[in-house]
Chains A and B, each alone.
Chain A
Amino acid sequence: MEQDVFVVADNILSPIGKTTAENFDRLSGNVSGVMEHDDPAISSRPFYASIFDKSEAFIEGNQTGFTKFEQLLIASITDALKNTGIAVTDKKTILIISSTKGNISLLETEKNTPELQKRIALSTSAKLVAHHFGFSNTPIIISNACISGVMGIITGARLLQTGQYENAIIAGADVISSFILSGFESFQALSPQVCRPFDKSRDGLNLGEGAGTIILSANKKYTGNIKVLGGAVSNDANHISGPSRTGKELSFAIDQSLKEAGLSPNEIDFISAHGTATPYNDEMEANAINLSGLQSAPLNSLKGYYGHTLGAAGLIESIISIQSLQQDLVLPTPGFKKMGVTKPVNVIAEPLSVKAKRFLKTASGFGGCNAAVIFGK
């Protein structure tokens, strides 16, 4: 990227912890948020997922008027902004929100009226959140399936390139309700246990809820911070609900990101994969990583800790990986034992102490979408 884009601050709000530090510490201690739940409001059968305790409060003071989805965004953005001095009212600061389904759970509990439909709209949530903080610009909202979070980072970095904005606050969240769970269940995509990315016996994904926020800035005073080095998006043009057979398109997005970052494959120190643990996703992803010449780079999937957090996944998993750069510790892939993809990749099953300088984050989703982003020192 011509213009340096620095990571200023971040937050992860998940069932595992309320700050990035809490999350990374607990993951390092091998704590997972995925467990069996029996909640008839979400499913008639017990299911494995990483979801918040029903009694958990996310924001202090008056919570009326905000749904759980909006509270997650507000809490995550509040913590990320803490001590940064970034002025949200500044015309040079933009808020980007990524989510797949936002307030869709309201369909389950409220009567379907035009007012409810307006309340469900992501633009309503974005407006409420922006008003809460006093942002002067209208927020940008991205809803592009499971790559929404990574796309948010790429969109933010590009808007800083244009000079239109100096700071971008990118926040993603999704809430798991029966709407989403029943859909993934109908695809027979849910694992009846804690998911096992890239493993021979992997049998589907776990869903997870949470929020993640990354604050990016082009301000030179952050020189020395970790940077966004490159990013790209591609489409399979193959199938709306199944990934590419070859992985060529994700590989193209990876190659484009490397090109933008001015890096060769051997300069990537580790990969934070999408690794949902569905048979097809992991196979496609391994193909793509091989095509891009990254098969020997240590790789993890964090889905065994968080489940698939949908619109937040790209943010949460990037933030953990940024911590890995800062703490010289790459986290393992819970659930992985035996290589289960045709083209092997270097999945790490144990924590890896390494002075990593750069990592690649990938994501793919329904609609044939793929995204890649590279962060580095």
Chain B
Amino acid sequence: MLAENHIISSCVIEGGDVFKNGRLLFQNKSADLTGFLLSIYQHFQLNYPKYYKMDNLSKLGWLASEVLLMDNYQKDQYQPEEVGIVLANRNSSLDNDIKYFESAKEIASPSLFVYTLPNIVIGEICIRNNFKGEHGFYIQETFDADFVIVQVNYLLDNNILKACICGWVDVLDQYYKAALFLVEKRQTDSSVPFSAKNINNIFETN
């Protein structure tokens, strides 16, 4: 039997709240999505000029990954190829697709067009952290914890990866939700087993 994998940390961003490992770290209920995302960026004193070029899906996923890895991930702990990302959502890149389509009626912008793919958020997180391993973006009507677990366990159990960020990042107009999990083979004092029950609990309860 294969060894169990572990959730080292989690981050959920939803409804004006930012949770890290189940604890509310930041709240802003009064802003629209773009304003809310910027307030997270400012609250955590992040400094990454590329942020301002991103669409809302990439901003949300990138911010969630920053909070997820903060204090729980040592840079250079693994080789770049040993860290990967498995994400899913319902609305693909439709939020930005609509914006690109409207703008293209006047003049098509390459900087908007590049965000018309959902996996760009993976690219942004990889660029920030120099992660070069396996990754994949899947479209699901609702979060399918069992599927994500099969994918991530395959990558960890076959030693393709040593750490994997997985979860859900979805944006459409003012609707948004991110739930990211850092999963590794090692156990820590605060880690919980990487099971469907545990990730669904973290996904749902906030």
Shortest CB–CB separation between residue B150 and chain A, in angstroms? 6
Asked if A235 and B133 sit within 8 Å, CB to CB, the answer is yes
Judge whether A296 is part of the interface by a CB distance below 8 angstroms.
no
Asked if B123 and A143 sit within 8 Å, CB to CB, the answer is no
Shortest CB–CB separation between residue B178 and chain A, in angstroms? 18
**Binding site secondary structure of chain B:** mixed
Interface centre among B80, B127, B132, B137 (most CB of A within 10 A): B132
Which residues in window 81-108 of A have CB below 8 A to B?
Answer: 100-102, 104, 107-108
Judge whether A141 is part of the interface by a CB distance below 8 angstroms.
yes
Q: A183-B108, A187-B110 are in contact. Are A107 and B127 (CB under 8 A)?
A: no
Asked if A367 and B136 sit within 8 Å, CB to CB, the answer is no
Of chain B, the residue at the smallest CB distance from A242 is: B114
Asked if B110 and A241 sit within 8 Å, CB to CB, the answer is yes
Which residues in window 145-189 of A have CB below 8 A to B?
Answer: 145, 151, 155, 158-159, 161-162, 164, 178-179, 182-187
Asked if B132 and A236 sit within 8 Å, CB to CB, the answer is yes
Judge whether B172 is part of the interface by a CB distance below 8 angstroms.
yes
Judge whether A10 is part of the interface by a CB distance below 8 angstroms.
no
Asked if B140 and A141 sit within 8 Å, CB to CB, the answer is yes
Q: Which residues on A sit within 8 Å (CB–CB) of B122?
A: 235, 367, 369
Asked if B132 and A155 sit within 8 Å, CB to CB, the answer is no
Complex: A367 Cα to B61 Cα, angstroms: 14
Judge whether A3 is part of the interface by a CB distance below 8 angstroms.
no
Complex: A367 Cα to B108 Cα, angstroms: 19
Complex: A182 Cα to B147 Cα, angstroms: 35
Q: A143-B119, A182-B104 are in contact. Are A233 and B92 (CB under 8 A)?
A: no
Of chain B, the residue at the smallest CB distance from A185 is: B108
Q: Which residues on A sit within 8 Å (CB–CB) of B119?
A: 143-145, 366-367, 369
Of chain A, the residue at the smallest CB distance from B81 is: A252
Asked if A183 and B92 sit within 8 Å, CB to CB, the answer is no
Asked if B154 and A143 sit within 8 Å, CB to CB, the answer is no
Asked if A367 and B110 sit within 8 Å, CB to CB, the answer is no
Q: A235-B126, A237-B127 are in contact. Are A112 and B132 (CB under 8 A)?
A: no
Cβ proximity bits B109-141 to A, threshold 8 Å, 1 near / 0 not? 110011011111011101101111111111111
Q: Which residues on B sit within 8 Å (CB–CB) of A102?
A: 92
Of chain B, the residue at the smallest CB distance from A241 is: B114
Shortest CB–CB separation between residue B206 and chain A, in angstroms? 24
Which residues in window 354-372 of A have CB below 8 A to B?
Answer: 365-369
Complex: A234 Cα to B129 Cα, angstroms: 14
Q: Which residues on A sit within 8 Å (CB–CB) of B108?
A: 182-183, 185-186
Asked if A142 and B133 sit within 8 Å, CB to CB, the answer is no
Complex: A159 Cα to B150 Cα, angstroms: 8
Asked if A117 and B104 sit within 8 Å, CB to CB, the answer is no
Q: Which residues on A sit within 8 Å (CB–CB) of B154?
A: 158, 161-162
Interface residues on A, range: 35 or more
Interface centre among A121, A138, A237 (most CB of B within 10 A): A237
Judge whether A239 is part of the interface by a CB distance below 8 angstroms.
yes
Q: Which residues on A sit within 8 Å (CB–CB) of B101?
A: 107-108, 179
Shortest CB–CB separation between residue A260 and chain B, in angstroms? 9
Judge whether A349 is part of the interface by a CB distance below 8 angstroms.
no
Of chain A, the residue at the smallest CB distance from B115 is: A240
Judge whether B91 is part of the interface by a CB distance below 8 angstroms.
yes
Judge whether A120 is part of the interface by a CB distance below 8 angstroms.
yes
Q: A112-B98, A183-B108, A238-B127 are in contact. Are A142 and B136 (CB under 8 A)?
A: yes
Q: A123-B90, A234-B132 are in contact. Are A368 and B114 (CB under 8 A)?
A: no
Judge whether A140 is part of the interface by a CB distance below 8 angstroms.
yes
Complex: A183 Cα to B110 Cα, angstroms: 6
Q: Which residues on B sit within 8 Å (CB–CB) of A367?
A: 117, 119-120, 122-123
Q: Which residues on B sit within 8 Å (CB–CB) of A185?
A: 108
Complex: A34 Cα to B34 Cα, angstroms: 42
Complex: A366 Cα to B172 Cα, angstroms: 21
Q: Which residues on B sit within 8 Å (CB–CB) of A141?
A: 138-140
Complex: A217 Cα to B109 Cα, angstroms: 43
Judge whether A129 is part of the interface by a CB distance below 8 angstroms.
no
Q: Which residues on B sit within 8 Å (CB–CB) of A101?
A: 97, 116
Cβ proximity bits A223-236 to B, threshold 8 Å, 1 near / 0 not? 00000000011111
Cβ proximity bits A260-279 to B, threshold 8 Å, 1 near / 0 not? 00000000000000000000
Which residues in window 49-67 of B have CB below 8 A to A?
Answer: none
Of chain B, the residue at the smallest CB distance from A107 is: B101
Shortest CB–CB separation between residue B52 and chain A, in angstroms? 14
Complex: A179 Cα to B98 Cα, angstroms: 10
Q: Which residues on A sit within 8 Å (CB–CB) of B84?
A: 235
Q: Which residues of A contact B (CB under 8 A)?
A: 100-102, 104, 107-108, 112, 117, 120-123, 126-127, 138, 140-145, 151, 155, 158-159, 161-162, 164, 178-179, 182-187, 232-241, 249, 252, 256, 365-369
- Beyond A178-B104, A179-B100, A240-B123: 6 further Cβ-contacts under 8 Å? A104-B97, A232-B134, A232-B160, A233-B136, A235-B85, A241-B110
A-B contact pairs, 19 of them (CB 8 A): A101-B116, A104-B97, A107-B97, A123-B141, A144-B137, A145-B120, A162-B150, A183-B104, A183-B113, A186-B104, A232-B134, A236-B126, A240-B123, A240-B127, A252-B132, A367-B120, A368-B123, A368-B126, A369-B135
The 5 tightest CB contacts between A and B, nearest first, are A367-B123, A183-B113, A186-B108, A141-B139, A123-B141
